Amino acid sequence: MREILEDICCSEVRVVVGEGSLSKLSKIKDNNAAVIYSRKISIADKINKYLPNAYFIPINDGESTKELSSVISLVEKLFEKNFDRGDYIIGVGGGTVTDVAGFLASIYLRGLNLINVPTTFLGMVDAAIGGKNGVNFNNIKNLIGTFYQPSMIISDLEFLETLPIEELKKGLAEVIKYGLTLDKELYDYLSLNKEKILNKDKQALEDIIFRSTLDKLSIVKEDERETKGIRIVLNFGHTIGHAIEAGSSFNVPHGYAISVGMVCEAKMAEELGYAEEGVVEDVLWLLQIYGLPYDISQIDAPVDLKLALNAINMDKKHRKDVILIPFPTRIGSWKKVEVPLDTVKGFAEQCLKK
């Protein structure tokens, strides 16, 4: 078990990674806590072991839950239970659950204590980290949201024991993103430890979760609210990736969309002269050895081009007639570039043709 303690803006964030880390919940056993959790998982017994008086609220896991109506329903439940500002919201589940729990914690009474307990690999390496919380609106992902840091993130490897390999792969796309843009040592580790990682070797998983957490927190600490142009690096692959998600009405898993998005954006970087020759090959190679999609033809769900291009128009990085995109320049390095909107949409059209 390993811990990270980081001061982000005005908040202290503690991350615990490893087997048995769920036991850290006992630190708040005397506090009132609402556990927002996915209906897909049996969690009550595990949580009750450490929080015998917890109030459990099950929600559906998936993008359909990330709606304002779902959040209002949760607000009503907290109101009925007389929650106050000293109480805790604990989000237990995948990225959509921790998103909703974080958004709820940030708006109720202007802020309750928040703990994230990601149960998916994607949640552990990305979604539960960083303090971004949001809900979807008009088919635009996370259009309404807040920045609100959890006081603790608990990544207990026990949750990954029964995780299907396909779910692991969906999270690996984000880990690969860190390696490509921020952390050559992580890229090399992924290159050398494929068998261990895909066989869910506990030490290997702990290593990459811990390293990914360090990488993401190092960026969030410098630019929590995306005002300095640093946090944008975490969006590599996401301009095209989010367009793929929107074009499929969110039927394409996030990790797969980002995987294809990274290839498209790496090609854009190389063709526009911002990336060293060979970067696209490096991206493709690592995605291929982990069995991740690298071409839209490998995506099963149909992707509507009109919806996808509309998502690019609505991208939060869109400024007048340009989009800010973080390009990998070589493995472990990146550069923020203003790319004309029409150029981005042109590359998107090429990438989204099956």
Q: Which residues are annotated as a binding site?
A: 61-66, 119-120, 132, 141, 159-162, 174, 238, 254
Catalytic residue among 32, 113, 133, 235: 235
Tokens 């007048």, located at residue? 320
Catalytic residue among 24, 238, 316, 317: 238
Catalytic residue among 169, 177, 254, 316: 254
Rounded to 5°, angle at Cα 266 from 346 and 98: 95
Strands (E), 23-151: 33-38, 55-59, 88-93, 113-118, 132-137, 140-147
| Stated length of the chain | 354
Catalytic residue among 24, 132, 169, 177: 132
Residue 349 annotated among the catalytic residues of the structure: no
What is the chain's percent helix, strand, coil content, to nearest 5?
A: 50, 20, 30
CA 148/CA 131 separation, integer angstroms: 5
Catalytic residue among 80, 110, 277, 306: 110
Residue 318 annotated among the catalytic residues of the structure: no
Catalytic residue among 116, 169, 174, 206: 174
Residue 235 annotated among the catalytic residues of the structure: yes
Residue 132 annotated among the catalytic residues of the structure: yes
Q: Is the dihedral of CA 279, 285, 287, 288 positive or negative?
A: positive
Residue 226 annotated among the catalytic residues of the structure: yes
Residue 216 annotated among the catalytic residues of the structure: yes
Expressed in angstroms, the distance from the first to the final Cα of the chain is 45
Q: Which residues are annotated as a binding site for NAD(+)?
A: 61-66, 119-120, 132, 141, 159-162
CA 333/CA 230 separation, integer angstroms: 12
Q: Which residues are annotated as a binding site for Zn(2+)?
A: 174, 238, 254
CA 298/CA 287 separation, integer angstroms: 12
**Quick one: which H or E segment has residue 100?**
helix 95-107
Residue 242 annotated among the catalytic residues of the structure: yes
CA 284/CA 267 separation, integer angstroms: 10
Residue 110 annotated among the catalytic residues of the structure: yes
Residue 225 annotated among the catalytic residues of the structure: no
Closest CA to 119 of 209, 187, 8: 209
Catalytic residue among 169, 211, 216, 267: 216
Catalytic residue among 170, 211, 242, 317: 242
Q: Report, as residue numbers or ranges, the catalytic residues.
A: 110, 132, 174, 216, 226, 231, 235, 238, 242, 254
